[in-house]
Chains A and B, each alone.
Chain A
Amino acid sequence: MSSTPLFRNATEPVWCDGCGDFHVLDGLCAALEGMGREPRNVALVSGIGCSSRLPGYMESHGFNSIHGRALPIASGLKLARPELTVIVTAGDGDIFSIGATHLVHTVRRNPAITLFVMDNGVYGLTKGQQSPTTPPGTQMRTAAQPVGDASVDPLSLMLSLGCGFVAQAYAADQPAMQQLMQQAIEYPGFSFVNILSPCPVFRGGMGIYKELRRSISRIDDSGHDPADLAAAHALLASAEAPLAGILFRRDLP
């Protein structure tokens, strides 16, 4: 895991050993450098959570703001400075719970910004509460009973909202994640990549990496046409394992 010097600053991340977010940081630095972007033309906006510390570890402009509100802040910035590459880095609690309203309406406004959600299915910063993507039945260390609420499926949600670019990546599969990141950043509207970024400390231990690597199903291998919305819904409905790749991409003028 070598850092990319151009985008990575000297600050040591606060993340726990084995956190998937290290991979996301490395991947994003490599993706941006690989696209020939300059740190001065890139702004990262985040909310609150483990993943939201990411902008502070990069040489680009960064704003670690308030819980759930990264999307409207990033939207305001993009409207003010359209020439900037604006990226939101967020967690599943940040985006699908406290900030869910903004997700709905950012999709409607369709600004040319990219949202990377580091989805670990847990509130890691506060040490292990259930998040909207924690599967029902999971026993959290902070609760007396297993999770009873149904979980949010990020991909299904984003398809339903009408997002023009919906993809999922696995943090530890660097080449595939970097490629998806670049495609999302190049997309001329609002783009979304759900990144499965494990939290071994509070969800599943280190074994979760092995399990994900074994179970992930690559969308590319299925012959799926990302321009076909109905096929995207169908693929998602029939999927028995986590998907990786571009699920839907609507061509914009």
Chain B
Amino acid sequence: MSPSGSPSQLSIGVVGSGGDGVVLLGELLARSAVLAGLHCYMDKVFGPQIRGGESSVSLRISQSQVLRSADELDVLLVLQWSDLARFHDVLSIAPDALVICSSEDDGDPQACGLPIGHRGPLLSLPLKQLALDHGRSKQARNMVLLGAASGLLDWYPQQLRAILERRMQRYDERSRENNLAAVAAGRDAVASWQGSGIPALPTSNGNADLELASGNELLSRAAIASGCRFMAGYPITPASEILEYMTRRLPQLGGTCIQAEDEIAAACLTIGAALGGVRSMSATSGPGMTLKSESIALSGMAGLPMVVVDVQRCGPSTGIPTRTEQADLNLALYGAHGDSPRIVLAAAHQADCADLATQAFELAGEASAPVILLSEQQIAQGLATVPRDLVPEPNGSVPGWPDTAIGADRQVQLTGLEHDDSGRPLSDAASHQANSLLRNARVNRALSRVPALYEGAAEGELGLLCFGSSYSICREAIELAGSRGVTAGMMCIRMLSPLDQAELRDWLRGYRHVVIVEMNYSGQLHDYLRSRLQLPELTMSLRRSGGRPWRLAEVEDFLVRHGLLPAGPPELQP
């Protein structure tokens, strides 16, 4: 995509080391664009050591809704070239991208990932010296860079000023002055620059009612709006933000948030609170999810509602803890001993985290069973614009889970043993069979309560089928197919268990070719669907391990290679 010829959107990458203020720089740019009425998406990618290593953001602003970062960056802001080297797989830089970097950096741009043959403008500024001279600390380099980038791009000046002022309220007067001086120094340093090739900004189309939020934040807010007043968690990337949000917010509402000693205790505290009738949740990532599996089975056996969020990251084991993947589907569907039915939901994007969190608490209460809500690093920590009124503020109504709780007027006897209605243990085969059926039936009542997301043509040549964050790439892929004359549609399953097979069969009938798209090595969704229903003969599987978000070019290549999409016109060279 040509940067200067794309007035509807623009993408910017920022890289540096942990503590350089990369995320802050990205957020200031993003928030000012949102204030100017644009849609925005921002991926945050950190090095595997989580803190202290390299960090990057990839920001995409657009006149219409965007749910993923762009394939290629139009602008690259570099605090340190060596850090770019760690992100060569995540950040792809357009050949004519505008690059601003430090003249004090002895790293070799090309060796660190700047494309060979880069022909866009490249500005080297003495970021550190300017930061020391004007910001009185080399820590202000990100502010100098912000000033330079915003000056060159003419970045929504009024809105940036407002966002900066808002942000600076957190600092004392001296730091405020220093930071603003650093921004001004960066702006002054590029004021007289005469080169060409600066990309144009998308103009605002006045979306005044948008806010920028991460999936983890939206999920937390929606949980609270749905009556959640108890959370127990254990720190784990990339789910910790949920615990942090709830720790601040729940006590203000008379609720409780506990940082437990381990993932098992977090799950059990949650179950205990549910026994008391309080809507409760825990949030974790894959390794923690594994530890919770015994408790999840207890919730189903005892008949207590439970909501567990699994923010997926690259596994197995510690894997790449900071990067995105969709490989816990098997764990969510099957992760427990015995026949342990559960409801499994998967959020497709940031706003969907809020919707599904709301549904999770309702469904858990109705089924008196565990609900597992899958999210992904990309959605959980990435920021997207959502309608400002997406999540209602808590209004004083706190519904609880009264049906299974200890009540004033009845005795509650629960057990993880097979048991009768009054909690007395049973050990005969016939009762076990009958109760297994009942437990399945409780979960199956949720069938079709959370409809899939559909886009594009309901019938046609090509149908893309996915879950979770693959939604956003499929949505762009069917648009691409449409632009090349291929009628295409997509379905993103949000309730994976219980699975609405009839709904799937109907959808599958509409397309000549179906591709199942998922970000895991083994094709967990493909195998799951194949185990549940007869897939059409021409069903293909597009899958790879996680580690970075999908690029449209990957899906395009796959479709072209398999004859499902005509190749695009060759790229024009200037």
| B268 vs chain A, min Cβ distance (A) | 4
Contact call B260/A81, Cβ cutoff below 8 A: no
A72 to B280, CA, bound (A): 14
Contact call A63/B258, Cβ cutoff below 8 A: no
B-facing mask of A28-43, CB < 8 A → 1, else 0?
Answer: 0000000000011001
A45 within 8 Å of B (CB atoms): yes
Give the residue among A64, A75, A80, A102 with the most B Cβ atoms within 10 A.
A80
B415 within 8 Å of A (CB atoms): yes
A-facing mask of B385-415, CB < 8 A → 1, else 0?
Answer: 0000000000000000000001011011111
B-facing mask of A70-84, CB < 8 A → 1, else 0?
Answer: 001111111111001
Contact call B272/A75, Cβ cutoff below 8 A: yes
| Complex contacts, A105 vs chain B, CB 8 Å | 260-261, 265
Contact call A80/B295, Cβ cutoff below 8 A: no
A154 within 8 Å of B (CB atoms): no
| Complex contacts, A72 vs chain B, CB 8 Å | 232, 260, 264-266, 268-269, 272
Q: Which of B106-125 contact A (CB under 8 A)?
A: none
Contact call B264/A40, Cβ cutoff below 8 A: no
A75 to B408, CA, bound (A): 19
Contact call A43/B295, Cβ cutoff below 8 A: no
B425 within 8 Å of A (CB atoms): yes
B-facing mask of A42-67, CB < 8 A → 1, else 0?
Answer: 01010010000001100111111110
A43 to B406, CA, bound (A): 9
| Complex contacts, B261 vs chain A, CB 8 Å | 101-102, 104-105
| Complex contacts, B88 vs chain A, CB 8 Å | none
| B335 vs chain A, min Cβ distance (A) | 15
| A194 vs chain B, min Cβ distance (A) | 22
| Complex contacts, B268 vs chain A, CB 8 Å | 65-66, 69, 72-73, 76, 102
A66 to B294, CA, bound (A): 8
B14 within 8 Å of A (CB atoms): no
A238 within 8 Å of B (CB atoms): no
| Complex contacts, B183 vs chain A, CB 8 Å | none
Contact call A69/B264, Cβ cutoff below 8 A: yes
Contact call A76/B277, Cβ cutoff below 8 A: no
Partner of A65, one of B270, B280, B412, B416: B416
B167 within 8 Å of A (CB atoms): no
A126 within 8 Å of B (CB atoms): no
| Complex contacts, B550 vs chain A, CB 8 Å | none
A61 to B422, CA, bound (A): 11
Known: A64-B416, A105-B265. A56 touches B406 (CB 8 A): no
Partner of B412, one of A61, A80, A109: A61
| Complex contacts, B415 vs chain A, CB 8 Å | 56, 62-65
A-facing mask of B262-306, CB < 8 A → 1, else 0?
Answer: 101110111111111110100000000000001100100010000
| B413 vs chain A, min Cβ distance (A) | 5
| Complex contacts, B266 vs chain A, CB 8 Å | 72
| B299 vs chain A, min Cβ distance (A) | 10
Residue of A nearest to B276 (CB): A80
B81 within 8 Å of A (CB atoms): no
Contact call A55/B413, Cβ cutoff below 8 A: yes
| B415 vs chain A, min Cβ distance (A) | 4
| Complex contacts, A2 vs chain B, CB 8 Å | none
A39 to B272, CA, bound (A): 18
Contact call B264/A62, Cβ cutoff below 8 A: no
| Complex contacts, B409 vs chain A, CB 8 Å | 40
Contact call A63/B414, Cβ cutoff below 8 A: yes
Contact call A81/B277, Cβ cutoff below 8 A: yes
Q: Which of B475-513 contact A (CB under 8 A)?
A: none
A109 to B258, CA, bound (A): 10
Contact call A62/B414, Cβ cutoff below 8 A: yes
A145 within 8 Å of B (CB atoms): no
A11 within 8 Å of B (CB atoms): yes
B155 within 8 Å of A (CB atoms): no
Partner of B273, one of A43, A59, A69, A80: A80
| A8 vs chain B, min Cβ distance (A) | 13
| B79 vs chain A, min Cβ distance (A) | 41
| Complex contacts, B272 vs chain A, CB 8 Å | 45, 72-80
Known: A11-B424, A76-B273, A77-B272. A40 touches B411 (CB 8 A): yes
Contact call B408/A40, Cβ cutoff below 8 A: yes
A92 to B262, CA, bound (A): 21
Contact call A76/B270, Cβ cutoff below 8 A: yes
Give the residue among B265, B295, B408 with the most A Cβ atoms within 10 A.
B265
| Complex contacts, A109 vs chain B, CB 8 Å | 258
Residue of A nearest to B262 (CB): A101
Q: Which of B422-436 contact A (CB under 8 A)?
A: 423-425
| Complex contacts, A78 vs chain B, CB 8 Å | 272, 276
A39 to B425, CA, bound (A): 20
A61 to B407, CA, bound (A): 9
Contact call B276/A56, Cβ cutoff below 8 A: no
| Complex contacts, A61 vs chain B, CB 8 Å | 406, 411-413
Residue of A nearest to B414 (CB): A63
Contact call A64/B414, Cβ cutoff below 8 A: yes
Contact call A79/B302, Cβ cutoff below 8 A: no
Q: Which of A177-205 contact B (CB under 8 A)?
A: none
A-facing mask of B246-258, CB < 8 A → 1, else 0?
Answer: 0000000000101
| A96 vs chain B, min Cβ distance (A) | 16
B533 within 8 Å of A (CB atoms): no
Contact call A76/B271, Cβ cutoff below 8 A: yes
A192 to B483, CA, bound (A): 71
| B132 vs chain A, min Cβ distance (A) | 46
B230 within 8 Å of A (CB atoms): yes
B567 within 8 Å of A (CB atoms): no
| Complex contacts, B273 vs chain A, CB 8 Å | 76-77, 79-80
Contact call A77/B423, Cβ cutoff below 8 A: no
Give the residue among A63, A64, A84 with the most B Cβ atoms within 10 A.
A63
A220 to B266, CA, bound (A): 40
| B208 vs chain A, min Cβ distance (A) | 41
B-facing mask of A134-154, CB < 8 A → 1, else 0?
Answer: 000000000000000000000
Residue of B nearest to A70 (CB): B268
B162 within 8 Å of A (CB atoms): no
Contact call A56/B423, Cβ cutoff below 8 A: yes
Interface residues of A (CB under 8 A from B): 11, 39-40, 43, 45, 48, 55-56, 59-66, 69, 72-81, 84, 101-102, 104-105, 109
What are 20 contact pairs spanning A and B, CB under 8 A?
A: A11-B424, A40-B409, A43-B275, A62-B415, A63-B412, A63-B415, A64-B414, A65-B271, A69-B265, A72-B266, A73-B268, A76-B270, A76-B274, A76-B280, A77-B276, A79-B230, A79-B256, A79-B276, A80-B280, A81-B277
The 9 A-B pairs with the shortest beta carbon distances in the complex, nearest first, are A76-B272, A80-B276, A72-B268, A105-B261, A76-B269, A81-B276, A77-B272, A64-B415, A72-B265
Since A61-B411, A64-B417, A80-B256 are in contact, a sample of 17 more A-B pairs with Cβ atoms closer than 8 Å, ordered by chain A residue number, is: A56-B415, A56-B425, A63-B415, A64-B414, A65-B414, A65-B415, A72-B265, A73-B275, A74-B272, A76-B230, A76-B275, A76-B276, A77-B276, A78-B276, A79-B272, A105-B261, A105-B265
